[in-house]
Every structure is written in C-alpha cells, then in structure tokens.
Amino acid sequence: MKEKKPVPRQFWLNLVIFAAGLIALMVVIRPWQTVQQVTVHSATIPASVIATDAQVSDKTPIWRVTGQTGFIAQQLLRRNHLLDSAQVTLTGQQLIIDVVEKVTAGYVQKNGQWQVIDRNGHQRPITAPKGDAPVYAGFKSTKILQQVVSQFVGLELTMRQNISQITFSPTKDNANRLVIVMDDGNTVYASCQTFGKKISFYPGIVAQMPEKGIVDLQFGAYSHGYGSQSDSAQKTKDSKTTQTP
C-alpha cells in the first residue's frame, strides 16, 4: 500500500488566501442585501420618474449598485433629456440621486425668429415660446442679455415661474435698467448687474403692499402703487427716454 503524499503547505496557503479573498468580496458586494431607500433630489421632475430612468428601486441588489454609481448616472442622463447633470451616491443601503434639471432661461425674438435660451445663454430657433419662461426684449447687447440670463437661472423656482417678461429699458438715471413684468400683476424696476441679488427682496416687499404696483430695486428697495405720484413721475422720465420695445 502506497503512502499518501502530504499536501504541500503552499496549497493550504493558497486555499486560505482564496477563502479570505472570497469572504472579503462577499462582504463588499453583499449579494444578500438590497437597497433599502432611494432618495431623489430634484426640482420639478417627480422622484419616481428619476428612479425609473435610473432603473433602481428599494429592491435593487446592492451588488448591482456598488462600484456602478457613475455608470447609473450616465445611463440616467441618456434616458432623461430634461437633465443637465446627475450624481449617484451609495451610503450604506441608501441610494441618493442628485440631479440638475435643464432650465429654460427664456425666449427672445431676433429678425422675426423666436429663439429659446438655455441656462448657459445658448440660443436655438423655435416656432414660438411655450410660456414656461420669460420673454426678453430690448436687449441689443448679447453680453448684457447673457448677464441677465445667468442671474435668472440662479433664482428660486417659484421666483422664476413668477417672471413673465424682462425688458432692457435704460433711462437717463439708470443706463442698465430692467423692467420686469411679474405674473402676479406687479412690475419690478431693477439693474442688470444686481437683478439676481436684489430680486430676493421682492416677496417681503410685496407682502406689505396694499395694492399692485411698482417694486423699485434699482438703487434701494421700495414700492408704490400704480397711479401714485411716484409712478407718474417715473412715466414722465420714461417718455423722455428712447426705448426699444
């Protein structure tokens, strides 16, 4: 009877290393665990739509997400054309999806052709405005228009939705004046350089106004009703100033 050869020590060492690696891999991948919660941070697009486009849910296996968050974000952008960017993060068993939606900054008419403006100031021709963003008028300088657009897209969603028209309407006192028509019936006077910052005062001022009127944010922050003495004085100034409609 032949004597059995002892198993080489190297074999057992390799087996231990393999087993340890397998256990470590199982701990990382955790095939028995699933995503417990999908949290979506978006502005207007429903969380359910984002999760569906990302093809994840509270039943998705962890191993399908681990190390794949960048790929999931890319696929989400490919499937949803309303998104500018997306970031997917896995924290424990919670999957967090942060998205930046494309913002229509407004519409402007050039040589009889309507153009839609995106958040970066780029323009492309369209048939007509959709009514989901303000119409820009009176802007002869593309640089000034882009300056105003960049401030507009940085506003809160509710504020953006309340602005229907922005007109560049310089006067003798303010060569950079903007006349902003609000959906709630008020009119705002502002300056190109400070429009984005000072419009934040608007809700507080309007809350104290007894009637619809003018909110002047050019050099301070105050208001007066339509037809008041201040309004009449402003109309006299405007009539002496050539404006582009």
Inter-residue contact 117 to 107 (CB < 8 Å): yes
> Quick one: 82 and 111 in the same domain?
no
Query: Could you tell me the residue range of the domain that residue 87 belongs to?
Result: 37-101
> Quick one: 93 and 76 in the same domain?
yes
Predicted pLDDT of residue 222: 87
> Quick one: 190 and 113 in the same domain?
yes
> Quick one: 202 and 110 in the same domain?
yes
3-state SS class at 227: coil
> Quick one: 92 and 128 in the same domain?
no
Domain assignment present for residue 166? The answer is yes
Inter-residue contact 214 to 187 (CB < 8 Å): yes
User: Tokens 């401030």 label which residue?
Assistant: 151
3-state SS class at 126: strand
Rounded Cα distance between 125 and 108, Å, is 10
> Quick one: 126 and 192 in the same domain?
yes
Instruction: Convert the pLDDT of each residue in 56-97 to its tens digit.
Output: 998 898 888 888 899 999 999 999 988 989 999 999 889 999
Percent of the chain at pLDDT above 70?
80
Inter-residue contact 148 to 178 (CB < 8 Å): yes
Domain assignment present for residue 173? The answer is yes
Domain assignment present for residue 87? The answer is yes
> Quick one: 53 and 127 in the same domain?
no
Which of 101, 120, 142 delimits the end of a domain?
Answer: 101
pLDDT interval class at 244 (50, 70, 90)? very low
What is the mean pLDDT of the segment spanning 236-242? 41
Helices (H), the chain: 9-29, 47-54, 69-79, 142-152, 157-161, 195-198, 202-207, 229-239
> Quick one: 186 and 135 in the same domain?
yes
Rounded Cα distance between 126 and 165, Å, is 18
Crossing angle for the helix pair 69-79 and 47-54, nearest 10 degrees?
Answer: 110
Long-range contacts of 27-32 (CB under 8 A, 24+ apart): 28/66, 29/62, 29/63, 29/66, 30/62, 30/63, 30/66, 31/61, 31/62, 31/63
Domain assignment present for residue 181? The answer is yes
Instruction: Convert the pLDDT of each residue in 109-161 to its tens digit.
Output: 988 899 999 888 889 999 999 888 999 999 999 999 999 999 999 999 899 99
Percent of the chain at pLDDT above 90?
55
Domain assignment present for residue 28? The answer is no
What is the mean pLDDT of the segment spanning 235-241? 43
How many angstroms from the chain centroid is the CA of residue 154?
Answer: 8
CATH of the domain at 57: 3.10.20.310
Given a cut of 60, whether residue 2 has pLDDT beyond it is no
Domain assignment present for residue 218? The answer is yes
> Quick one: 218 and 177 in the same domain?
yes
Query: The whole model's pTM is what?
Result: 0.66
Inter-residue contact 106 to 167 (CB < 8 Å): no
> Quick one: 55 and 72 in the same domain?
yes
CATH of the domain at 116: 3.40.50.10960
- For the chain, what is the domain count? 2
> Quick one: 137 and 46 in the same domain?
no
